[in-house]
Amino acid sequence: MTGSIVTVEHFIAEQEREYPEATGAFTDILLQINLAAKVISAAVNRAGLIDILGVIGSTNVHDEEVQKLDDYANDVLLNLLRRCGSLSGMVSEEEEGFVHVPESRDPGPYIIAFDPLDGSSNIDVNISVGTIFSVYRKRSDGTRVRRRDLLQPGSEQVAAGYVLYGSSTMLVFTTGRGVHGFTLDPGIGEFLLSYRNLRIPSPGKNIYSINEAYFDKWTPGQQRLVERLRQPPPDAPSFSARYVGSMVADFHRTLLRGGIFMYPGTVAKPEGKLRLLYEVAPMAMICEQAGGLATDGRRRILDIEPEGLHHRVPTFLGAPDLVEMAGRYLADD
């Protein structure tokens, strides 16, 4: 049994042996994320308890300042990642602008973008939430971080991953060599390898995941696509609809079971809701590394050049046959 215990540290060391070009600089970032995930998981799991203790306004019964969990998760990640000598800077969903890492002698070669706690509004009803992260290599020379360092297409990512705070806490990431999943064992406080080389089942379960409350706001092509999924032709398999309203949970189910996750635009807001840099591009890298497809309905997500730190894109992630079907229906819009 002990032979099967593979921690994140073991796995990274194994990867470094197998791929000598992997540098320790990048390992430092992953290990800080590993630690941040444990700290945030503990806070997320206590969130309900704090409510029971009777939080009053912004201070609790012990007169302690109670942070909103997404602010707390953001602070944890900023403070831990600031210690990484290999980072030049950070982009966070919670920060309007770019966050400089204190300039050491030689600011690090990497940039990280993250959503510290995606879906945090679901915490109050005990629905899974997640952290999403994306790592790029700094493109420009010199110590200053420039716009072109921050706004790189997803194809330039050196790593991407998420932490899912659900019935168990899972860390799933890729460094471009497959997708690997680790499950937190609270008894020993370690993430242990639970999925090596995750592949999205295709054909997998016929599940489509979308918020159908927006049906009347969609384009005709999007409406016809969902009608096709709701009522397939007699000789085609039927579908189930699943939608948690927490992207990390909906995507994780799609990754493990198959199907398609969609957050399309509407006629009024064609760009949709999800942010490219720290939500969609990292999930797209994972999806492709697991054998899936990731588009905005027309373009490959990883080819899209971000127009700003909080640039939104329509999102279609999942099994190749279903993402391609979506593209065919949207082509008529």
Considering the rule CB under 6 A, would residue 166 count as an interface residue with ligand P6P?
Answer: no
Among 171, 247, 281, 290, binds ligand P6P (CB under 6 A): 247
Considering the rule CB under 6 A, would residue 215 count as an interface residue with ligand P6P?
Answer: no
- The amino acid present at 277, given as its one-letter code, is L
Q: Select the span of 77-85, 113-121, 183-191, 196-204 touching ligand P6P (CB under 6 A).
A: 113-121
Look up residue 124 and give its two tokens: 């109050």
Considering the rule CB under 6 A, would residue 94 count as an interface residue with ligand P6P?
Answer: no
Q: Give the sheet arrangement for strand 260-263, strand by strand.
A: 240-241, 207-209, 260-263, 315-318, 293-295
DSSP 8-state secondary structure symbol assigned to residue 65: B
Considering the rule CB under 6 A, would residue 124 count as an interface residue with ligand P6P?
Answer: no
Considering the rule CB under 6 A, would residue 190 count as an interface residue with ligand P6P?
Answer: no
- Residue 88, CA distances (Å) to 4, 28, 136, 141, 222 in order: 36, 13, 10, 12, 41
Across 166-283, where does the E strand assignment appear? Answer: 169-174, 179-185, 190-195, 207-209, 240-241, 260-263
CB of 253 to ligand P6P, least distance (A): 12
Considering the rule CB under 6 A, would residue 306 count as an interface residue with ligand P6P?
Answer: no
Among 89, 108, 119, 282, binds ligand P6P (CB under 6 A): 119
How far is Cα 97 from Cα 29, in angstroms, rounded to an integer?
A: 21
DSSP 8-state secondary structure symbol assigned to residue 276: I
Provide the mask over 260-279, with x wherever binding to ligand P6P is found by CB under 6 A and - wherever it is not: ---x---------x------
Q: Select the span of 58-66, 117-125, 174-182, 231-239 touching ligand P6P (CB under 6 A).
A: 117-125
Tokens 């290990």 locate to 31
Considering the rule CB under 6 A, would residue 211 count as an interface residue with ligand P6P?
Answer: yes
For ligand P6P, the binding residues (CB under 6 A) are 118-119, 121, 211, 245-247, 250, 263, 273
